[in-house]
Structure 1
């Protein structure tokens, strides 16, 4: 449990609260039982709820470490924001609390270092909640940039791949689509949470945080729209990929059919010759073998006539192809 105290207000950040911890905090800060239940079960949706003396926000972050087994798994961050305190709860350690602490320290050092730019807002419980939401939103920027580069690369390369690279492209499309689904799950409900928070803060006069929350909402809506756009690009690339494979399979099938057709044609020509030639073996007297070559040429002519007739009857298309190739040669 890490605590940041000042005179008033203060911020209490709790990591992995137990049932006993929540009972104590519930009595001290008068937290509603439904809020306690949401924090302990950690299966609630992202939302912003109003209670008599505080408002309760659930805003999901994620594990940014690519070497972790929980990479990109959601981390629920619960905030109980009152007028003089803010309580934050999360099941696993996360970097956003540390980033907000550094931001608070920078605000204190702004007067000493004029080159450091920081928002002029006063550190209040509402500002701390805004800073946490802002830091969670900013953490999605590297993932969005990575996804944009990958989607653009897939869209450009899907139609010019060699056959050996197609399996790798299918793997890349699967990983990109998995990242899109993960980002959609993490981002889809965040604009509604910020919108609810904006509506509540609009009831307060001269609320300077309202402008910054509207800026966060714009960023979230832009990221959600970009994710949906990337999903459409990947779907189109996948369709183009499948179409390219179908074209290649059709070409391969046509080549195989041509080879089989030529073999069939050769069989159509040679089988009748083989049948006629097989009538006379080496131990059978051939008609006219003692009278000259007339019988030989007659038998050859008969074989050619039979083969040509068979080709014309059963394979007329191949006869036209053979004639088209033979006529230029005869010229």
Structure 2
């Protein structure tokens, strides 16, 4: 059963003839193709159909709602063909969300061409083969999508152009947070195909934006591809802003924190630098891709974007260049803060070593004075004759010996002090 989402073109040239082929596609619930198991795991519980995620989302400005389905076969309504679905003719009239509709009536705005958009999550190999055949996708395009090509690029073909653009996992609680997420956008004159292999909010954000601006813009396939690129670019904004706050905090605190408060600073610097380097890797050559796409707007290719989209793409390019420059600036600040932190730690360790050396020198001087005295008194503990031990009536010998030891200690301490003062002056 398909799902309809709120308020939401002619079919591609090769879509009319193989409609039966699309109808014969095994549903997602069947799970396997001839070459082996499907990319997606079997359901863990419940009915095999109801527990499957909605992997297909179909938007058309001729329809009043976005259709979400678990398989391609669920997209058309009862009695509706795929050719009618992509042309925006009839279907889904029995749904309350859709409102009244009659076959043959196009709900698009007057004078606005019918534009469709099919968003696909984790397509199987069999589905890719069928879509490639129906939409006449070049084998290189199919290979890039199936192999999850990570290089961002734009390629023009005979009847469409392909945009490979990378986003990232935006869920901070996900184990794959900030990992690259590849988005593949195939743009025809009549509509758009988009592919991705992990759930993402970009498609939903673009559909929400279309709903808000539908009365002010002409929704074309070029505009949909621009909106996807723009939403991916905007996703970097909050993260870069949070990194800016963290970098400013580190830069201010790295030199003023006390020793007891610096235990967490190195971890903060390392974590922030890891985020910055990850974002720089994600930003990569995005600006070059958008620049190349904007240049195509001025070429005489029938499938190239129209010139008015070039203005929007130039704005995205400016944002990307600014973000990249900011990230490079943050990396320099973090590198400087890291060096300052290590230098401060080195200074503190040097001060601690100097204090230890000072204490050890004092202990050495004290030991130099006391060890000879301990040696003399130690001899008295042996079975030897001590001078004056036979004098039991007075303490003359005892006082003399103690006075001699005290005089030796005073002389040794004074001599050691003069040596330490002289060494310090040098």
What TM-score, normalized by structure 1, do the two folds share?
0.84
Which residue matches 1:269?
369
Which residue matches 1:328?
none
For the residue of structure 2 that corresponds to 1:49, the secondary structure is strand
Q: 1:3 aligns with which of 44, 47, 58?
A: 58
2:336 is the alignment partner of 1:236 = yes
> How much does 1:99 deviate?
1.2
Mapping for residues 35-184 of structure 1, pairs under 5 Å: 35-110=141-216, 120=217, 122-184=218-280
Which residue matches 2:388?
286
Q: 1:308 aligns with which of 411, 416, 419?
A: 411
Deviation per CA, 1:241-294, whole angstroms, max 9, x where unpaired?
111111111111111111111111111112223334455569622399789959
Checking the alignment, whether the CA contact within 8 Å between 1:79 and 1:129 is kept in structure 2 is yes
Q: Using the alignment, how far apart are the partners of 1:68 and 1:309 within structure 2?
A: 71
Q: Using the alignment, how far apart are the partners of 1:206 and 1:65 within structure 2?
A: 35
Checking the alignment, whether the CA contact within 8 Å between 1:272 and 1:307 is kept in structure 2 is no
Checking the alignment, whether the CA contact within 8 Å between 1:273 and 1:307 is kept in structure 2 is no
Higher helix share: 1
Unaligned runs of 5+ in 1: 111-119, 323-331
> How much does 1:237 deviate?
0.9
For the residue of structure 1 that corresponds to 2:255, the secondary structure is coil
Unaligned runs of 5+ in 2: 1-55, 63-86, 88-113
Mapping for residues 25-44 of structure 1, pairs under 5 Å: 25-44=131-150
Change (3 A) 1:264 1:288: farther
2:351 is the alignment partner of 1:251 = yes
- CA RMSD in angstroms comes to 2.9
Which residue matches 1:317?
419
Which residue matches 1:186?
282
> How much does 1:43 deviate?
3.1
Q: Using the alignment, how far apart are the partners of 1:278 and 1:71 within structure 2?
A: 72
Q: 2:120 aligns with which of 10, 14, 25?
A: 14
